[in-house]
């Protein structure tokens, strides 16, 4: 294109020529759709009528825009997947528009990560995406040359500290799972720093598995450290006390006393150079304490090589051979010695036969997938509440449809039935009903019948594959289907099923014929009841 020509044309454009263009291309077209504009109306009155009409419908238009945006977010993530770069682009762009869409995208991103983990495992890319979605996107290198075992260990340390102070239990579970994944990833690295972080990574894993109640796996990681013959390579690494989550009162007391000790040194003796040695523990000594603690809290017999008393003797020997001890090492040893001396819950019943069995060295991704799905549902529910607050004057919006769906997935059919029944009675006479988008990333929350039905629809009808609006069902349809399934699984009476069948027939009459998935789902629910009841 000729840039000079374009510049000349634009320079010649003024208000006089722009106004008629605007009236013809915008006002006239709006006036054609506006019910308040009549033939022969002056331009001034027509413009006023259009403005009033658009203002009166602005909230409804915004609601349609939200629904379209949510469908497109699910559709795009399902079609094109997510990368760290695209995830950041989504977040930055949506943050400029609306908080609700940002929350909705986070829910979809969590489902995407859960789906990919189930299929292909927890890759580095997925770890970084989840890290970004949790708000830790400030230190993810774009160059692979900077990614090594020390990098993964530092990311894990950051997450350990965050999880220790996070009040949101679901987010805390994700942070702990992600932290475990980074530590396992650090142990799989084969670089010049691998040996130096080996013991510390295993100690942090033992701590995390201990805090999540997986005592045998925690003992496994303690044993890996105690069997290591290369502690000298880890001498530059210490367990940072301020990073540790809640372990027990002994560690809390030690850290408190260490801070007091530092205060005395700093204010009375003016020895500030001691500060970095206060809230730390020697890695190989700390693991002995943790191992003995694990044996004391294990509820069932553990197949192990040694009892806690034998382990304590090795602990004493290790301390005697150390060239340097930290304040934390001394205090922890003294507290443990006192506990053993007074027999304070340290010696459980241990089987004497058998060899120690090392468990798997990979994170259990099934737990993380469940946490991601739970967090996604919580975010979807939060979006529903925001939708109800903003558009409650236009339509009746049920806020527990996602919660009911998740209850059904978990097998809590009584809870699902309760929520779905409430939603059906709430929505039965509603004029406008919100939709639930069902794309590839979302189907992990659905049962096999709905997934199969959706797949058949997409196979048979080309238009449904091309237009994302076909992959949606209303809250009413979803609630009726869940209500039907729960009643069948809980073996409700024929009378109860007949009432549900009546509601399905009402919903079928009110549902437009072009809403394919709604009609198919309602027909499926009707057939399930008819087959069972008759």
DSSP of 36-89: T--TT--HHHHHHHHHHHHHHTHHHHHHHHHHHHHHHHHHHHHHH---HHHHHH
Does pLDDT of 279 surpass 80? no
Residue 344 in any domain: the answer is no
Beta bridge partners of 238: 282
Can you give the pLDDT at residue 242? 78
Q: Answer whether 400's CB lies under 8 Å from 383's CB.
A: no
Q: Of the ranges 59-68, 348-357, 477-486, which is most confident?
A: 477-486
521 found inside a domain: yes
Domain termination site, one of 38, 56, 74 = 56
Q: Is the pLDDT of residue 229 over 90?
A: no
What is the number of domains present in the chain?
A: 2
- Among 161-170, 205-214, 522-531, name the one with the lowest average pLDDT: 161-170
Residues 6 or more apart whose CB falls under 8 angstroms from that of 440 comprise 78, 79, 115
Q: Which domain holds residue 527?
A: 395-533
State the Cα–Cα distance between residues 93 and 119, nearest whole angstrom. Answer: 29
Q: For residue 27, is it within any domain?
A: yes
pTM: 0.82
For residue 11, tell me if it sits in a domain.
yes
Cα–Cα distance measured from residue 113 to residue 372, given in angstroms and rounded to the nearest whole number:
8
Rounded-to-integer distance, Cα 193 and Cα 190, Å: 8
pLDDT band at 356 (very low <50, low <70, confident <90, very high): very low
In a domain, 45, yes or no: yes
Joined tokens for residue 461: 């009808």
Q: Is the pLDDT of residue 477 over 60?
A: yes
Answer whether residue 16 is part of any domain: yes
Q: What is the mean pLDDT of residues 484-505?
A: 94
For residues 402 and 278, the model is more confident at: 402
Does residue 460 form part of some domain? yes
Q: What is the pLDDT of residue 129?
A: 93
User: Can you tell me the distance from the alpha carbon of 44 to that of 51, in angstroms, rounded to the nearest whole number?
Assistant: 11
SS3 content of the chain, % helix, strand, coil (to 5): 70, 5, 25
Confidence class for position 307, pLDDT limits 50, 70, 90:
low
pLDDT for position 83: 92
Say whether pLDDT at 359 is over 60. no
**Among 468, 401, 465, which Cα is nearest to 433's?**
401
Given a cut of 80, whether residue 363 has pLDDT beyond it is no
Does 448 score more than 80 pLDDT? Answer: yes
Task: Compute the chain's Rg from CA coordinates.
Answer: 31
- CB atoms under 10 Å from CB of 94, counted, come to 19
Q: Find the mean pLDDT for residues 339-362.
A: 45
For residue 532, the model assigns a pLDDT of 78
Percentage with pLDDT > 90 across the chain: 37
Q: Looking at 15, 39, 56, which one is the last position of a domain?
A: 56
- Lowest model confidence (mean pLDDT) among 98-102, 161-165, 303-307: 303-307
Q: Look at residue 397 and give its three-state secondary structure.
A: coil
Give the residue-averaged pLDDT of 31-39.
84
Average pLDDT, stretch 476-495? 95
Phi and psi torsions of 268, nearest 5°:
-90, -45
Q: Tell me: pLDDT of 377 over 50.
A: yes
What average pLDDT does the structure give for the chain? 84
Q: In terms of Cα–Cα distance, which of 450, 401, 392 is closest to 423?
A: 401
What is the rounded distance in angstroms from the CA atom of residue 145 to the CA atom of residue 418? 54
Rounded distance, CA 190 to CA 203, Å? Answer: 19
Over residues 195-217, the pLDDT tens digits come to 888 888 999 999 999 988 888 89
In a domain, 232, yes or no: no
């Amino acid at each position: 294109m000729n840039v000079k020509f374009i510049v000349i044309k634009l320079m010649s454009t003024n208000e006089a020529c722009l106004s008629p263009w605007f009236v013809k291309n915008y006002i006239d077209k709006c006036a054609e759709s506006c019910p308040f504009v009549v033939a022969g109306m002056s331009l001034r009155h027509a413009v006023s009528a259009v403005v009033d009409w658009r203002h009166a419908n602005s909230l409804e238009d915004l609601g349609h825009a939200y629904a379209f945006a949510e469908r497109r977010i699910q559709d795009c993530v399902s079609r094109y997947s997510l990368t760290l770069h695209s995830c950041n682009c989504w977040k930055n762009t949506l943050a400029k528009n609306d908080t609700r869409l940002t929350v909705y995208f986070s829910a979809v991103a969590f489902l995407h990560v859960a789906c990919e983990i189930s299929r292909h495992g927890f890759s580095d890319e997925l770890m970084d995406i989840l890290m970004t979605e949790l708000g830790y996107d400030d230190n993810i290198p774009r160059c692979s040359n900077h990614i090594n075992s020390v990098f993964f260990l530092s990311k894990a340390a950051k997450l350990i500290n965050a999880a220790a102070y996070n009040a949101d239990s679901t987010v805390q579970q994700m942070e702990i799972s992600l932290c475990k994944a980074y530590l396992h990833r650090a142990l799989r690295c084969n670089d010049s720093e691998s040996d130096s972080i080996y013991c510390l990574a295993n100690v942090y894993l033992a701590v995390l598995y201990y805090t999540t109640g997986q005592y045998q796996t925690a003992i496994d990681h303690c044993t890996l450290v105690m069997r290591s013959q290369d502690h000298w390579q880890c001498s530059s690494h210490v367990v940072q006390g301020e990073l540790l989550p809640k372990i027990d009162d002994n560690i809390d007391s030690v850290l408190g006393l260490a801070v007091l000790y530092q205060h005395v040194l700093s204010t009375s003796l003016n020895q500030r150079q001691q500060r970095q040695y206060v809230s730390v523990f020697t890695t190989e000594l700390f693991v002995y304490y943790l191992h003995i603690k694990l044996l004391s809290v294990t509820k069932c017999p553990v197949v192990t090589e040694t009892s806690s008393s034998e382990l304590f003797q090795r602990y004493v020997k290790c301390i005697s051979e150390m060239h340097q001890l930290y304040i934390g090492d001394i205090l922890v040893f003294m507290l443990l010695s006192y506990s053993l001396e007074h027999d304070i819950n340290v010696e459980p019943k241990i089987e004497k036969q058998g060899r120690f069995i090392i468990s798997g060295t990979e994170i259990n991704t099934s737990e993380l997938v469940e946490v991601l799905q739970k967090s996604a549902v919580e975010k979807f529910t939060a979006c529903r509440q925001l939708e109800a607050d903003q558009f409650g004057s236009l339509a009746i919006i049920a806020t527990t449809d996602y919660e009911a769906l998740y209850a059904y997935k978990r097998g809590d059919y009584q809870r699902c039935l309760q929520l779905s029944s409430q939603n059906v009675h709430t929505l039965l006479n509603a004029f406008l009903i919100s939709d639930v988008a069902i794309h590839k990333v979302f189907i992990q929350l659905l049962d096999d019948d709905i997934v199969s039905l959706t797949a058949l629809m997409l196979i048979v009808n080309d238009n449904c594959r091309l237009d994302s609006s076909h992959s949606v069902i209303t809250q009413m349809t979803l609630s009726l289907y869940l209500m039907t399934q729960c009643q069948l699984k809980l073996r409700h009476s024929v009378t109860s099923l007949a009432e549900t069948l009546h509601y399905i027939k009402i919903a079928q009459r009110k549902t437009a014929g072009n809403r394919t998935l709604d009609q198919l789902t309602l027909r499926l629910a009707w057939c399930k009841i008819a087959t069972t009841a008759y």
